[in-house]
Structure 1
Amino acid sequence: MSHAAPAVYTIPTGAGFLDTLAAGLLREAGGDPLALAAMTVLVPNRRAVRGLREALLRAGGGRPMVLPAMRPVGDVDEDALGFDAAVADAALDLAPAIEPTRRLILLSRLVERWRARDAAAGARTENGGGAVAPAQAVDLARDLAGLIDALHTEGIDAGAFKHLVPEAYASHWQVTLRFLDLVTELWPALLAAEGALDPAARRDRLVRALADAWRAAPPEGPVIAAGSTGTVPATADLLGVVARLPRGRVVLPGFDAAMDRDSWDAIDPQRHPAAALHPQAAMRQLLDRLGVDRAEVRPWPLDPAAEARARAVAGRVEMLREALRPAETVAAWGRVAPGDAADPLPGLSRVDLPTLRAEAAYIALALREALETPGKTAALVTPDRRLGRMVAAELRRWSVTIDDSAGEPLGATVPGVFLRLLVDAAAGGFRPVALLSLLKHPLAAGGMAPARCRALARALDARVLRGPRPVAGLAAVTRLVERGDLDDRIRADWARVAAILAPLEALLARGSVALADLVATHVRVAEALAASDAEPGAERLYVGEAGHVAADALARIGAAADALEPLAGDRYPALFTALIADATVRPRFGRHPRLSVWGPIEARLQQADLMILGGLNEGSWPPDPGHDPWMSRPMRHDLGLPALDRRVGQSAHDFVEAAAAPEVVLTRAEKVDGAPTVPSRWLVRLDAMLGGLPTGDARRRAWLDALDRPAAVVPLDPPRPTPPPAARPATLSVTQVETWMRDPYALYARKVLDLAPLDALEADPQASDRGVFMHAGLEAYFAGVGPDWPDDAAAGLIEAGWRALDAQGLADRPAVVQFWWPRYCQVARWIDAEERRRRAAGHAPLVIERMVAREVLPGFTLKAKADRVDRLADGRLAIIDYKTGTPPTDPQLAAGFAPQLPLEGWLAQLGAFGGVDEVGELAFWHVRGGDPAVAVKTVKKPDERIAQAREGLAQLVAAFRDPAMPYLSQPRPDRARGHDYDHLARVKEWQDRLDSQEDAP
């Protein structure tokens, strides 16, 4: 027995789909709990099941009730067993759906073999051609799996590839087509060997089994299929069966029965290819498939509350319908009354923000404001998951927790980041940044108290790993630890952690290793590193929803590992990231009762008092249709697959449904990541039709502007520290005197506050790195040379330099060895030749790298470590400074800004170097290692420069003996060079302001 005509209903846009449906079901049950329990309600997905359950509780005033059987028809799997005995039998007869991770790995093997074969043959494809890494193969396999599912969904025989004519397509698509033809032959055999089915194939068979069962034996109770638009053919056929059941009904979301005939005809996909872009396109396609005329679609009975909601937004729905007309009928815009000219769409406003962060802050403000009204609900609707996360972060400033219903990728959660950091660090040889990121992760403990592991990380950071990047590997880090200024406890802790990490490092270094071994070692090392002194690693790593998802993902990869051929160990990190890309963590508890973040599909059936539609830019909402790497648009059309643009029409329908709430705010960011954006086509249409929309609540904009603005902005003046005389340094080196003169604040920070700057992590080699081992190497060699210069001096200098390089720990810094060591060898040969020349001219080294000190002024001691002092043939001294950086210019020397070498001359005049007090030469040897290897720069008028430096130092000492004399930051600003303590002095906060004041007339 069946209806004379299909029973197809619609709940109008704006009425609130699930609430209206729930009220109708309760009204139909008439208070009889058994009547409600006898109903079966089919909804699109599991999220809709949860939403309907909550709507029924709201409609029933929260009283206990026996709920109807609610089934997610789009997510049919084992839940199908509850539909019907015939379906249960069909499910038992069907093979299970193949596990998704295993399917990805199996398909990636096909991709890898195909691409490797084409690489050997020199073929190119749309995907770039050539062999691919395992991670890339998984990404391509994911798209290939989507294509296979699409074939099942549309009911297209895989053998249809054979009927496509390769000559009709470009050559690279011909190569792809041959591969797809091969896949359709090999993949069914692989599935049969697995004893499994593709998920889409199994879903369709179950849905069709249900349709056949109900067609043959209609259920006795009411059956309502609600909220689905039937874009999946099998689901559409099931809806056709439900609509013809004796007590069956199909309820469409937001069907537009008021659309004019011309527009309805224009969205016929058979007549207009662009029809799929319209919000009602999916509905039109479903009705055509069901053989239902649109005049036969009946309105779902509305309760007074739903009728009031729909009436309140009727004008807005009409304007949205007009704005989104098909292109063929937009000429009708001029015949539509715009309503209130001041506010053509009451309750609807648009806000354009400059950046994505500003958009997130504005949305968070609007959501927070909604909580001030008792009982008011609010939701952000956006397909932009990044925007949703940013809004959630902004709300935390008010201690408001809100969860994104789409969940969070496993790779971005605490355990997911830890697992990725571990393999990335191991594959990269535990480079400093990666190693410290791993050890500072909250899950890292290494069998110790977590705080102790953090202390180890801080010690390695401050005293071991700074400077140029060391050689890769745990052994290199261990050598640096042994040479570092660390206590025995830190060394022991590092040894413990290194022992934990070593197995993974060794495995990833292998050229061929089974994925099962990689996963097992990854898990074992991760658990050992996560273990603390009080808890096993598994209990810390797999805790909470994210931990459970991580454990499940690792188990799935491990179970499917045998399907992948051995791979190079260093390919595992990228492969692991690719394999967990689909794993999502969704919180089970803790969701805010009145605030939500919904995706457009979830919002299609739900409504809040305030709906904020965020991310309304092209490419975000509507989404970019994307690119199918396996099939071109003509190939999809010829094969019978739906166009990728169909998503745009579905997004348009979601937009209209969400925009029909009582209060709606449309938001977009004018720039994202610094790049200009294009407003959503729907905003453009509204603007074109209405000439613009209200620009939102001015109060919120004012709040946004004031959100991070302090109550008062107090201009910062340069620091003027005046330590007491007893704290001021009374002994300085000649180098520190130069700093004292150029930037007194830097001297104050170093000598008074005892703050030493840290080198950057993985820094490029600096002149100071070169200078350290060059000075040490020359000093060591000259210390062992007698009056006669050896014939093999160049070789001896090179050997001494390497020992110095190793002693300084720089031999484990590849950038230093590769860049500076060849230059040092050039310098050694130059010094050998120069030394022979100087000795032949009667010059003899007197002092090499000697530290001297003299009280040059009452109460002030000057010290210096002279690189080299020679006795000239005439008995005077030549003071030489090895300069690995750029030597000072003559004007700088004349102005007294480079007093280092002249002050050493003064110490020489005081007899600090061998009792000789007459200086004949001051020279900089610019040690470059190029051509020439060393450039000699002689200071002009050395006696005058020495006298000038002596007088300048006397004035400096006298000035800073005054307790009121401040240690100013950059009294002579030199923007051409940075200073180590500029951030401490907060130079950028006051320097520009002072400069602008000086420039003012």
Structure 2
Amino acid sequence: MFEASDKPRLFGLPCGVDYPREVVRGFMERMAGASPERVARAQIIVNTSKLGRAIGDAFGGYAPGLKPRIRLLSRLPDDPVFHDLELPQAPLRQKLDMARLVEAFLAREAGFAPKSGIFDLADSLVSVVGELHEAGAGSEALEGITIPNASRHWQESLQFLGIAFPFLDRETGGVTAEARLREAVERLADDWVLSGRDDPVLVVGSTGSRPTTALLMEAVARLPQGAVIFPGADPHVTPRVWATLRETGHEEHPQKRLVSLAETLGLGRTDVMPWSDGAPFDDVRNRLVSLAMRPAPVTDDWMREGPKFAGVGAIAATTTLIEAPDIQTEATAAALVLREGVEAGLRSVLVTPDRDLARRVTAELDRWRIVPDDSAGVPLNQTAPGRLLRHVVGLLGQRITTEELLVLLKHPLTATGASSAGFERGFHLLWSREMEVHLRRRSRAYPTIEDMRAWAMSEKRDPAQAEQRQVWVEWVGQILPLFVEAPQVAIGAHLDRVLDIAGALVRGPMGESDAELWAQGPGRAVRHLVETLAATSEAGDVMSVQAFGDLFRALISRETVRDPSPTHPGVMIWGTLEARFLDADRVVLGGLNETVWPEAPASDPWFSRDMRRQAGLSSPDQKTGLSAHDFQQAIGAREVVLIRARRNAETETVPSRWVSRLTNLMEGMSGEGKETLREMRARGERWIERAKMIETPEVRVAPAHRPSPRPPVDARPRQLSVTRLETLIRDPYEIYATRVLKLNKLDPLTRSADARDRGTALHTIMERYLSEDREETVEESRARLLAVAEAVLAEVDEHPATARLWLGRLRRITAGLVDAERARKAKGDIVALEAKGAMHVPEVDFSITGTVDRVDRHKSGGLIIYDYKSGTPPTAKQVGKYAIQLDVEAMMAVAGKIDGVAPESVVELTYIGLNSALKLFERAVSDVDIETMRKRLIRLIATYDDPATGYTSRRAMQSLGYVTDFEHLARYGEWSDWDEALPEDVS
């Protein structure tokens, strides 16, 4: 295959060629005339299975015959020749063993990290062990680190890294996959040398960024018939640039790995030979990018070579720069570019490391029913079976809330195994939604079987389904207790419990199979994860439900699965690794902003840069260099679209350093370069305009006006409670929504205690306290009030923390409350508490109802009406205009329309505000003018009996910031409180 040479063989293929096809073409040209047996003995070692498949497909373009053996680098230890290699310890077993040591360390060093991070810390340490094994280092690499004058953080980190010492040595830590691969590569290299093997061996696709891979590449390059084919080798690297890259540093340059590999092999710039004569798609663009990527010490080449750069205008027709105003426009523009490629019959690819952008583009492509082939797949924890198991695991050991129950019941896999008549999933969803409304209306934070049975028995819509509903409710009720227990048991027991609950949910009330949980690709991936965890759990690891939940979520979040649904053959989304071997007509490079591409260097919690150097580990800048290499390869495609967003969700963005270099170079190199850049941006602006057009609605909806609906008089309410009269004055639209449209606001699924709950509790406390009349001292009275408060608030079991807060507040005002109550008792005797009242006003044929908090009879004669407020009582000005509740109750009392209260004049009206200041608002007898109040009430009702009067939204709000329940219906925000209301007849 190769002529004899005393130099290692290092070949390169330039950016922008079909790498798999050129690898195969060069191989077949060199093996022309070789015997089939020699071809079959040849090996091509690839770094990814995707590249292996692409090379295998490329061989399909040649005449039938024996083909070389294509081997995956990571599978080399599985070769039968290495049968004596010890199998590696299962990764999960290793993590669990490491987690046990981390837990013991945290027990000794309590302030180092929270216990909730045990598995994340263990996972991080396992990665450190793997990285050290890849570098061929052991515990001595960590023991030899010195950190003089370092901060305390690195001292503590080095102490924590001591946990990994047992795992770095085979005798105590077993064999890791990284150590096994390195040993296999070392033995393979020795075998090649000792055997004098002359069969062709090629290493393709790798850049040597990993120590084990670099070791293999060095060994193969030195074989008599071995060679390394470097992807994305830049033939335009000048001697000056090569010499600069030979120096320490410059890891962020895309050709740094090529230079380092060549130097390791003792080769110079001219020794890197072209593998084939395949020409790149656009050599002008490649030369321009090579110049733009020059490392900092030689960036002055721009001044010398830029003005002499000829033909840069040739790239204008195939290169577009889109600088979108925001991330949504970026996604829409990218989708439009891909869609146009479909219409033109092009093979189009979006290359980006930004998964958020990839998901947005996928959503945008759905406009045209285009499903791209996404190489990254879907995170397993976001698939249907993954989400169900994640929900179940997260709820173990907890009392299930209404919201959490409905999440489980509405999951797309729940009740999919129920096939009996009357128990199909459609009925399951119907009953779930109806029960949700029932629980919302009753503000049930924690549903009980009694609540659900009450719903099943009270439902009257379809009596024929009553029996099925009751069976369904009992099924739900049997599942709820399965979550509550929180034992500390073995992993296997936790896992069995999770699978039992998930299986019961999938089977449904009468189902027999949970097969849907394990169906298709996501289900099979979940089953594999569960089986792996079950096999590992044989060691009997015991942990709490919280620790098991942390473990399970950590495992499932790291797995991905390919979506099995059909995809469009002409639209793909690739990560940057696949871009090394791309074969596409149009390539969109998305997410070209700093911290995205290139990604911001991750903060290493365990090693400083100097510590990594001492341990023999790679520099963090190497990842930036690999990203730069991926960018340089991807931009060599036939047609390239560079796209970025000027602003993300939070702030202005910074363009990727490579985009900045390219645009700055073109801006200053020459008039032709500046004009080419202008054309690239102009093409991008056209895509931005199209993106804005597609997001602009065809029909613009005018802002709503302030509503004031005028329903027919016979549809208007003929009865209101005394508390709703103020609402009729302040916000008539709410009365229209509730009494005319019959709309009611549903409580949220998980509702926190609010002023309504506080008011209800306080009313109950005062009712129970006042209902018992006894002779007692002040201290006894205070103690009894607190005892009543404790008993009432103990019944608020859905909000125990809030109840305790209220109790503390009551303790502070108990003395003032009891003293004020004793003064009221001296003024008069209690006649009624929480008394119902109803009164008809014949002049307008209208009824008033309500509950009067308290009525006393004054010792001098006449009634005193009290109303308890959980907050600050209304002011005198508010009472005069809006808060007419007590005045109307006085009318009812005088007319004898309050239960248990004989008709009598009213001498006093009093609001009692139960706040920390115990503020009282009292009205003297002279202010109680029943006749004036009656006329005012009649005038108010008659006004809304007039067909010309509308129910205006937010007519007289107490403050502009006041929020009502029906603002969304009134489209408040499209109009303001000072806009004029426009009455409108409705029917």
Task: Identify the TM-score tier after normalising by the shorter chain.
Answer: 0.7 to 0.9
Q: Does 1:391 find its partner at 2:366?
A: no
| Cα deviation, residue 433, structure 1 | 3.3
| Cα deviation, residue 316, structure 1 | 1.0
Q: Does 1:50 find its partner at 2:53?
A: yes
How far apart, in 2, do the equivalents of 1:630 and 1:622 lie?
Answer: 22
User: For each residue in 1:414-446, what CA deviation from the matched residue of structure 2 results, as whole angstroms up to 9, or x when unmatched?
Assistant: 222211211222344323433332332222339
| Cα deviation, residue 487, structure 1 | 3.8
Q: Does 1:496 find its partner at 2:488?
A: no
Q: Does 1:3 find its partner at 2:4?
A: yes
How far apart, in 2, do the equivalents of 1:189 and 1:204 lie?
Answer: 13
How far apart, in 1, do the equivalents of 2:162 and 2:723 lie?
Answer: 75
Contact 1:352 1:668 in 2 (8 A): yes
User: For each residue in 1:249-273, what CA deviation from the matched residue of structure 2 results, as whole angstroms up to 9, or x when unmatched?
Assistant: 43221212321111101111xx332
| Cα deviation, residue 332, structure 1 | 0.9
How far apart, in 2, do the equivalents of 1:787 and 1:727 lie?
Answer: 54
| Cα deviation, residue 282, structure 1 | 0.4
2:557 corresponds in structure 1 to: 581
User: For each residue in 1:289-321, what CA deviation from the matched residue of structure 2 results, as whole angstroms up to 9, or x when unmatched?
Assistant: 22333212222333xxx53xx2x5111111111
Q: Give the letter aligned to residue 970 of structure 1.
A: R
2:334 corresponds in structure 1 to: 363
| Cα deviation, residue 200, structure 1 | 0.9
| Cα deviation, residue 199, structure 1 | 0.7
Q: Secondary structure of 1:657's match?
A: helix
1:881 corresponds in structure 2 to: 867
TM-score (structure 1 length as normaliser) = 0.87
How far apart, in 2, do the equivalents of 1:19 and 1:949 lie?
Answer: 94
Q: Give the letter aligned to residue 552 of structure 1.
A: H
Kindly tell me: are residues 331 and 477 of structure 1, through their superposed partners in 2, closer, same or farther at Cα, counting changes over 3 Å?
same
User: For each residue in 1:429-465, what CA deviation from the matched residue of structure 2 results, as whole angstroms up to 9, or x when unmatched?
Assistant: 3234333323322223397644454445435543336
| Cα deviation, residue 882, structure 1 | 1.2
1:962 corresponds in structure 2 to: 946
Gaps of 5+ in 1: 82-87, 120-128
How far apart, in 1, do the equivalents of 2:301 and 2:980 lie?
Answer: 61
Kindly tell me: are residues 31 and 842 of structure 1, through their superposed partners in 2, closer, same or farther at Cα, counting changes over 3 Å?
same
1:104 corresponds in structure 2 to: 95
Q: Secondary structure of 1:371's match?
A: helix
Q: Give the letter aligned to residue 143 of structure 2.
A: K
Query: Could you tell me which of 224, 232, 238 is aligned with 2:202?
Result: 224
Kindly tell me: are residues 673 and 262 of structure 1, through their superposed partners in 2, closer, same or farther at Cα, counting changes over 3 Å?
same
TM-score (structure 2 length as normaliser) = 0.88
| Cα deviation, residue 179, structure 1 | 4.7
1:130 corresponds in structure 2 to: 112
Kindly tell me: are residues 879 and 163 of structure 1, through their superposed partners in 2, closer, same or farther at Cα, counting changes over 3 Å?
closer
Name whichever of 544-553 and 709-718 sits farther off.
709-718
Query: Could you tell me which of 278, 290, 302 is aligned with 1:333?
Result: 302
Q: Does 1:70 find its partner at 2:55?
A: no
Query: Could you tell me which of 343, 346, 353 is aligned with 2:324?
Result: 353
User: For each residue in 1:511-560, what CA deviation from the matched residue of structure 2 results, as whole angstroms up to 9, or x when unmatched?
Assistant: x3332322222222222222235655641222221111111112222222
| Cα deviation, residue 662, structure 1 | 1.8
Contact 1:425 1:435 in 2 (8 A): no
Q: Does 1:700 find its partner at 2:687?
A: yes
Contact 2:722 2:889 in 1 (8 A): yes
How far apart, in 1, do the equivalents of 2:193 and 2:484 lie?
Answer: 61
Q: Secondary structure of 1:665's match?
A: strand
Q: Secondary structure of 1:969's match?
A: coil
Aligned length, in residue pairs:
949
User: For each residue in 1:169-210, what CA deviation from the matched residue of structure 2 results, as whole angstroms up to 9, or x when unmatched?
Assistant: 444434443454563345536766xxx521111112223333
Q: Give the letter aligned to residue 258 of structure 1.
A: H
1:283 corresponds in structure 2 to: 258
| Cα deviation, residue 684, structure 1 | 2.0
Q: Secondary structure of 1:732's match?
A: strand
Give the RMSD, CA atoms, in angstroms.
3.5
Q: Secondary structure of 1:164's match?
A: coil
Q: 1:275-314 residue pairs with structure 2 within 5 A?
A: 275-302=250-277, 306-307=278-279, 310=280, 312-314=281-283
Kindly tell me: are residues 544 and 520 of structure 1, through their superposed partners in 2, closer, same or farther at Cα, counting changes over 3 Å?
same
Kindly tell me: are residues 786 and 138 of structure 1, through their superposed partners in 2, closer, same or farther at Cα, counting changes over 3 Å?
closer
Q: Secondary structure of 1:144's match?
A: helix
| Cα deviation, residue 881, structure 1 | 1.3
Name whichever of 593-602 and 827-836 sits farther off.
827-836
| Cα deviation, residue 572, structure 1 | 2.5
How far apart, in 2, do the equivalents of 1:884 and 1:796 lie?
Answer: 20
Contact 1:607 1:658 in 2 (8 A): no
2:887 corresponds in structure 1 to: 902
Contact 1:636 1:643 in 2 (8 A): yes
Q: 1:441-520 residue pairs with structure 2 within 5 A?
A: 441-445=411-415, 449-455=424-430, 457-459=432-434, 461-464=436-439, 470=445, 477-478=448-449, 481=452, 487=458, 493-506=472-485, 508=486, 510=487, 512-520=488-496
How far apart, in 2, do the equivalents of 1:31 and 1:772 lie?
Answer: 95
How far apart, in 2, do the equivalents of 1:996 and 1:348 lie?
Answer: 55
2:757 corresponds in structure 1 to: 769
Query: Could you tell me which of 256, 259, 268 is aligned with 2:234?
Result: 256
How far apart, in 1, do the equivalents of 2:809 and 2:424 lie?
Answer: 46
Kindly tell me: are residues 166 and 794 of structure 1, through their superposed partners in 2, closer, same or farther at Cα, counting changes over 3 Å?
closer
How far apart, in 2, do the equivalents of 1:51 and 1:341 lie?
Answer: 33
| Cα deviation, residue 769, structure 1 | 0.7
2:858 corresponds in structure 1 to: 872
Q: Give the letter aligned to residue 661 of structure 1.
A: A
| Cα deviation, residue 938, structure 1 | 1.6
How far apart, in 2, do the equivalents of 1:639 and 1:406 lie?
Answer: 33
Q: Does 1:892 find its partner at 2:870?
A: no
| Cα deviation, residue 893, structure 1 | 2.3
Query: Could you tell me which of 380, 383, 392 is aligned with 1:422?
Result: 392
Kindly tell me: are residues 342 and 722 of structure 1, through their superposed partners in 2, closer, same or farther at Cα, counting changes over 3 Å?
farther
Kindly tell me: are residues 799 and 343 of structure 1, through their superposed partners in 2, closer, same or farther at Cα, counting changes over 3 Å?
farther
How far apart, in 2, do the equivalents of 1:591 and 1:26 lie?
Answer: 33
Kindly tell me: are residues 992 and 18 of structure 1, through their superposed partners in 2, closer, same or farther at Cα, counting changes over 3 Å?
farther
Q: Give the letter aligned to residue 693 of structure 2.
A: A
How far apart, in 1, do the equivalents of 2:841 and 2:853 lie?
Answer: 20
How far apart, in 1, do the equivalents of 2:499 and 2:763 lie?
Answer: 48
Gaps of 5+ in 2: 460-465, 668-673, 983-987
Contact 2:380 2:526 in 1 (8 A): yes
1:755 corresponds in structure 2 to: 743
2:544 corresponds in structure 1 to: 568
How far apart, in 1, do the equivalents of 2:689 and 2:627 lie?
Answer: 32
Q: Percent identity over the alignment?
A: 31
Q: Does 1:41 find its partner at 2:64?
A: no
Contact 2:47 2:205 in 1 (8 A): yes
| Cα deviation, residue 279, structure 1 | 0.6
How far apart, in 2, do the equivalents of 1:176 and 1:220 lie?
Answer: 48
Kindly tell me: are residues 8 and 478 of structure 1, through their superposed partners in 2, closer, same or farther at Cα, counting changes over 3 Å?
same
Contact 1:501 1:525 in 2 (8 A): no
Q: Secondary structure of 2:588's match?
A: strand
Kindly tell me: are residues 947 and 43 of structure 1, through their superposed partners in 2, closer, same or farther at Cα, counting changes over 3 Å?
farther
| Cα deviation, residue 835, structure 1 | 4.4
Q: Give the letter aligned to residue 23 of structure 2.
A: L
Contact 2:353 2:597 in 1 (8 A): yes
Q: Secondary structure of 1:882's match?
A: strand
User: For each residue in 1:939-980, what CA deviation from the matched residue of structure 2 results, as whole angstroms up to 9, or x when unmatched?
Assistant: 468647755543443233223323454333223455221111
Q: 1:440-839 residue pairs with structure 2 within 5 A?
A: 440-445=410-415, 449-455=424-430, 457-459=432-434, 461-464=436-439, 470=445, 477-478=448-449, 481=452, 487=458, 493-506=472-485, 508=486, 510=487, 512-533=488-509, 535-536=511-512, 538-561=514-537, 565-587=541-563, 590-691=566-667, 693=677, 694-695=680-681, 696-715=683-702, 716-779=704-767, 810-823=796-809, 833-839=819-825
Contact 1:528 1:537 in 2 (8 A): no
How far apart, in 2, do the equivalents of 1:183 and 1:804 lie?
Answer: 56
Contact 1:33 1:65 in 2 (8 A): no
Kindly tell me: are residues 736 and 635 of structure 1, through their superposed partners in 2, closer, same or farther at Cα, counting changes over 3 Å?
same
Kindly tell me: are residues 107 and 874 of structure 1, through their superposed partners in 2, closer, same or farther at Cα, counting changes over 3 Å?
same
How far apart, in 1, do the equivalents of 2:817 and 2:840 lie?
Answer: 30
Q: Secondary structure of 2:291's match?
A: helix
| Cα deviation, residue 286, structure 1 | 1.2
How far apart, in 2, do the equivalents of 1:272 and 1:558 lie?
Answer: 48
User: For each residue in 1:31-50, what CA deviation from the matched residue of structure 2 results, as whole angstroms up to 9, or x when unmatched?
Assistant: 99968766532222112123
Name whichever of 258-267 and 726-735 sits farther off.
726-735
